[in-house]
Amino acid sequence: MALDFSGTGVALVTPFQNNGSVDFDALDRIVNHTLKGGVEYLVVLGTTGEPATLGDNEKNDVVSAVNKSVRNRVPLIIGIGGCNTADVIETIHSTNLDGISAILSISPYYNKPSQRGLYEHFSAIAKSSPLPLIIYNVPGRTATNISAETTIKLAKDQNNIIAVKEASGNLTQIMQILKDKPPHFQVISGDDALSLPMIYLGAIGVISVIANSHPRQYSDMVRAALTRDFKKANALHYKLLDYIGALFEEGSPTGVKAALEIMGICKNTVRLPLVSASDSLKEKIDKLMKEIA
């Protein structure tokens, strides 16, 4: 599949009203804010979008709204994953994929499959998917790591699997994937704080949380890293590093929604079991944003 997801993708938040309903006006503002900031593509219904607490109708409405706001200006990726392989496949088949370029599928959570189980899970999805598949490895959320060996085997055996979003935080594992992967297979950072070293090692970009609030600064850093403008990339990375850390202190998307509220883009509202940012974190984020403005 000749798709290139180089640069910065945004794992879009799903904004809510105070009563918990989806705020579609704010969603349009977020899409246009990120695109004005120069990002290369968007991801809807990734984990940052809180899909675990969205109903099926809400998910469909969110995808339609983002598609309408994007207006084909950049590629759009949809998150469809879970711990029931058959259900993931059925969801893909029942979802309107018009305007979608690829599917991002998180590693199964809770049931903790073996490496063989992970291989069979993603192979089954890839074989039935009408769109290219991006594996999402985030053991901090799923309790199971997709090993480098399993990722490489999937990349070599399944032509429809085109990339991995790697958020294991294990640079040795990531280097092993980069060393042994087939030429068509892309490695995408899933960790805002590690994107710079990952790109230097050979990753092609990032699917980012911070780019919801600071798309210009972060995508400038990614482009500088990709073009080996080390001085600019390093300066931007260290300028943003403390802010990135603050965004995840009380979980994600709690921190970035607090930042977006400070910016007047959406409300700082999440759905239970997540809770909104504490006053002390909001103060910290506000202070750090003023320092990087």
Smallest CA-to-CA distance from 200 within 153, 248, 151, 237 is with: 237
Tell me which of 41, 59, 119, 136 is the catalytic residue: 136
| Active-site residue, selected from the candidate residues 59, 119, 165, 284 | 165
Closest alpha carbon to 134 in 114, 112, 154, 157: 154
Does 165 qualify as catalytic in the annotation?
Answer: yes
**Residue 232, CA distances (Å) to 188, 216, 228 in order:** 21, 14, 9
Query: In DSSP terms, which residues pair with 42 in a beta bridge?
Result: 10, 76
The CA R_g of the chain, rounded to the nearest whole Å, is 18
Active-site residue 136, yes or no?
Answer: yes
Active site residues per annotation: 136, 165
